[in-house]
Structure 1
């Protein structure tokens, strides 16, 4: 460990009582050994050789290193990969979207999905095609570098940065500057685990800074633009909300500040020895923001400017529908892409449309897309054309506010359906309740990794397994409640466990019916579920209590 060790947070014991050595770290953590033997970022030079090698003859260590270049095994592991294209702030030009669509159509069986980090993912990629694909991406200013692996992942932002009249200031130049500095920077390609940043000045904080390793929230101090900083957020198997670091960082200091933060975390070998505890959130949890701030200041050699308060979000939005831009006479239009799937052919058609009638395309955290720069006279034409392409605007808003991870059939971690299950569930609720569920956010994951952010949905659902009456394993789901983002930011908790897949729609229907019948004026699902204990909510979901007769229903 380099540098003085921060004091433990009161009431928390250090995981390691003595400094570790790199030798011990690499013995305990095989991924650290693999990275030491060959830095994954350097594998780019070997791609032609790997592409010419039979898949089964490629060492498994090199398969792991491919993650640093955005390539993950598809399921089953028979030689095809998911490729993730890294898109800073979710912004692509029509030309860039067209080339992604072309890659999908030529090499990825026309597959495509929008991720919750504003990336595009393509499946069915074969290694023999990767050099040609990377050439196409590079020619159009696109990259997969660091889209996976122990590295800085895609930097997310408000998808309407630079367009929305309510934003405090335009953060696009700062997202771009950070991407240009860090994305291909070998010096920061070996972190203890993946690391996630988000940066925006959206008044709604639609980019969810509270669940990021580092959330940079636009604010003003003494008339100067800059950022409040949240640290230590994250989901997966140990979810926690980020905490204020208590500092103000002006734009011109962002790179130095973030370099120091990465170096403080990366140099502490405690967070490399145990891969399950290697995320930055565990360091923040152990020591607290003040100790982390102190170490960053020591690394910088100067104090950071203090900031007492982090701006609160004004509400919640998915930026869907038709909205005037601050550029006079222009509009942006947010289209639901339910459930986050977009084919290569659709990408190319959207690119053609935007090239004629718009400016660029933005991908959102909720797996939707936004067409920008549309003239007033062209709005109806664009809306009609997008509907013909499969993205109608006149659908129930629940489709734009609900998300699902990749899941089956592609993800090796998933134990059940996600996107097909979300579609079935939403369609069932629409038939039962219609537009009454318009504001509901359903987040569905196929495993605990929480790519679909089930911990913070109005109704969070996580895939698992159960046993039937014969003792055989069947797909099932846990249902989590009381999670949320923004002003009601909170981590949900499981209320119904191991619900058989065939019964999930009934459980959720009864729960939603209970909420719609008994909610107070303007009451959110999260606030409503907080008014009722687990036993009441479970009884409703299981059908043991009617919505109007559950104990405390009118409390």
Structure 2
């Protein structure tokens, strides 16, 4: 039976079959991914080419990935629960970047910080500095619980339903570096928030804990089976209400259902948690969960619905009277080490925090009201002006070229080029449309759910092979949650700006009152969208 058949139809595989068909599972059986840490100091002293390839793979368990090209430089991903850093922790990361990572820094959609141009000989010293400051890379990559994301204003937002930080902290303490959950079938992504806007994108997570209040009790609606990559899915409500103090127990039970089911270890391509939900459905998954827990969970009487969309940018009052937070665009997620140190010094003056957003931006919190204008100006001088085009706060680009070995097209630099073009063409009236650009199908930049998504690919022209992009429309999150559709295939890179301009221009000219860009595309046929992209007029009555 082929690997594309439903997993339920394949029966129950044995470990012998798993190990025969899946080389990564063999590597993990031979040596746990976390155990590569005992070899890192030695690997920093020998020629790079002599390191076993399977240990290069295991380094992912400690947040270490090849930089491109594979000549001995690496990316290091620092795992930051909820993306919240004290000034001291931000300073340490900035200093590490300056000394060991060519002054690089990248804020990610999972609220991590990534450093590039790292040599293995530097890693033991970097790890020691991180550990001294209660920072970790454990499980930042590999088959682990990845960084737990949340609303960046958790605990300080006057609108939040309740403070989820204790839940996030409990999850992080339990899962980060836990060997029992360090050999999952594939990577696993959780998000926990009680933001009324669902800014943390619960729709695209393996398991999302969506804050809600039922019968006066604070707890979570549990959504399951979301995810992107080459087979994108929108998460589904499991139909249960989970009190706050039971969330970790329920999370463990759900993960155990998946990690103990050998159906999801046979093929890496079909190993993600979302395929369990595809195969068993939410009703059977709930039944299996409750059997494992030994009790029924309360029914969720109302699925939480976001009140709108927000990126938490700009100046906002906090819960505590007289304090403000300010969200600064960091387009496209790039922040140098020296900039981190300067911002840390600024935060130390008033005891605020640095918080990373899903859109690769950052917030400064705890700013006394009389100092807001001053702080905004000083952050602008560091390189992050608050007054900028809204697209620079809402558009996302993956790591891509020049660092990622999977990328086949320009990412961050191409995104800057597109946004520059649209800004010059349409001005500030264009508003905060969300352009998400990825260099490959892995969807780290979440191109499936942007207002307009682009995925890097290649195209063969008479003159040879060139970079190109698939253009994805009708995707979205929140009230418009849905997976986009690739309407335009392999658009050569030199034509992308003009194609995007035509699509956006048609929306501006023909949108109804308050109609979003995805909403506009949803009421057009594929052929109409393709005609707009080609510069052809819409026919009578279209759009």
TM-score normalised to the size of structure 2?
0.98
Asked if 1:518 is matched to 2:510, the reply is yes
Give 1:476's aligned residue: 468
| CA offset digits 1:242-280 (Å, max 9, x no partner) | 001111111111121111111100010000001100000
Match of residue 232, structure 2, among 236, 239, 242: 239
Match of residue 450, structure 1, among 424, 435, 443: 443
Tell me, yes or no, if the aligned pair for 2:437 and 2:447 is still in contact at 8 Å.
yes
Give 1:9's aligned residue: none
Give 1:320's aligned residue: 313
Tell me, yes or no, if the aligned pair for 1:511 and 1:541 is still in contact at 8 Å.
yes
Tell me, yes or no, if the aligned pair for 1:166 and 1:203 is still in contact at 8 Å.
yes
CA deviation after TM superposition for structure 1 residue 374, in Å: 0.1
Is there any run of 5+ residues in structure 2 with no aligned partner, and where?
none
Tell me, yes or no, if the aligned pair for 1:85 and 1:121 is still in contact at 8 Å.
yes
Residues 286 and 552 of structure 1: is their aligned pair in 2 closer, same or farther, counting only changes over 3 Å?
A: farther
* SS in structure 2 at match of 1:429: helix
Give 2:180's aligned residue: 187
Tell me, yes or no, if the aligned pair for 1:518 and 1:553 is still in contact at 8 Å.
no
Tell me, yes or no, if the aligned pair for 1:339 and 1:404 is still in contact at 8 Å.
yes
Give 1:423's aligned residue: 416
Q: Distance in 1 between the 2:7 and 2:502 partners?
A: 45
Where does 1:28-107 land on structure 2 (aligned, <5 Å)? 28-107=21-100
Tell me, yes or no, if the aligned pair for 1:444 and 1:460 is still in contact at 8 Å.
yes
Tell me, yes or no, if the aligned pair for 1:107 and 1:125 is still in contact at 8 Å.
yes
Instruction: Report the RMSD for the aligned CA atoms in angstroms.
Output: 1.1
CA deviation after TM superposition for structure 1 residue 550, in Å: 4.2
Asked if 1:109 is matched to 2:106, the reply is no
| CA offset digits 1:31-81 (Å, max 9, x no partner) | 000000000012222222222222111100000000000000000000010
Tell me, yes or no, if the aligned pair for 1:358 and 1:371 is still in contact at 8 Å.
no
Q: Distance in 2 between the 1:427 and 1:367 partners?
A: 18
Asked if 1:157 is matched to 2:147, the reply is no
Tell me, yes or no, if the aligned pair for 1:357 and 1:382 is still in contact at 8 Å.
no
Give 1:219's aligned residue: 212
CA deviation after TM superposition for structure 1 residue 552, in Å: 3.6
CA deviation after TM superposition for structure 1 residue 446, in Å: 0.3
Q: Distance in 1 between the 2:230 and 2:119 partners?
A: 31
Asked if 1:349 is matched to 2:338, the reply is no
* SS in structure 2 at match of 1:354: helix
Give 1:367's aligned residue: 360
Tell me, yes or no, if the aligned pair for 2:79 and 2:112 is still in contact at 8 Å.
yes
Give 2:483's aligned residue: 491
Tell me, yes or no, if the aligned pair for 2:225 and 2:277 is still in contact at 8 Å.
yes
Q: Distance in 1 between the 2:478 and 2:377 partners?
A: 33
Give 1:303's aligned residue: 296
Tell me, yes or no, if the aligned pair for 1:210 and 1:233 is still in contact at 8 Å.
yes
Where does 1:163-178 land on structure 2 (aligned, <5 Å)? 163-178=156-171
* SS in structure 2 at match of 1:464: strand
Give 1:537's aligned residue: 529
Q: Distance in 2 between the 1:324 and 1:19 partners?
A: 55
Q: Distance in 1 between the 2:7 and 2:107 partners?
A: 39
Match of residue 207, structure 1, among 200, 206, 221: 200
Give 2:431's aligned residue: 438
TM-score normalised to the size of structure 1?
0.96
* SS in structure 1 at match of 2:490: strand
Tell me, yes or no, if the aligned pair for 2:475 and 2:484 is still in contact at 8 Å.
yes
* SS in structure 1 at match of 2:408: coil
Tell me, yes or no, if the aligned pair for 1:443 and 1:459 is still in contact at 8 Å.
yes
Give 2:325's aligned residue: 332
Match of residue 492, structure 2, among 500, 506, 515: 500
* SS in structure 1 at match of 2:385: coil
Q: Distance in 2 between the 1:433 and 1:478 partners?
A: 23
Q: Distance in 1 between the 2:320 and 2:29 partners?
A: 50
Give 1:5's aligned residue: none
Give 1:409's aligned residue: 402
CA deviation after TM superposition for structure 1 residue 137, in Å: 0.3
Tell me, yes or no, if the aligned pair for 1:217 and 1:310 is still in contact at 8 Å.
no
Residues 13 and 32 of structure 1: is their aligned pair in 2 closer, same or farther, counting only changes over 3 Å?
A: closer
Tell me, yes or no, if the aligned pair for 2:7 and 2:263 is still in contact at 8 Å.
no
Where does 1:18-29 land on structure 2 (aligned, <5 Å)? 18-29=11-22
Q: Distance in 2 between the 1:51 and 1:295 partners?
A: 46
* SS in structure 2 at match of 1:478: strand
Q: Distance in 2 between the 1:77 and 1:254 partners?
A: 41
Residues 418 and 551 of structure 1: is their aligned pair in 2 closer, same or farther, counting only changes over 3 Å?
A: farther
Residues 551 and 493 of structure 1: is their aligned pair in 2 closer, same or farther, counting only changes over 3 Å?
A: farther
Is there any run of 5+ residues in structure 1 with no aligned partner, and where?
1-11
CA deviation after TM superposition for structure 1 residue 551, in Å: 4.7
CA deviation after TM superposition for structure 1 residue 98, in Å: 0.5
Asked if 1:391 is matched to 2:384, the reply is yes
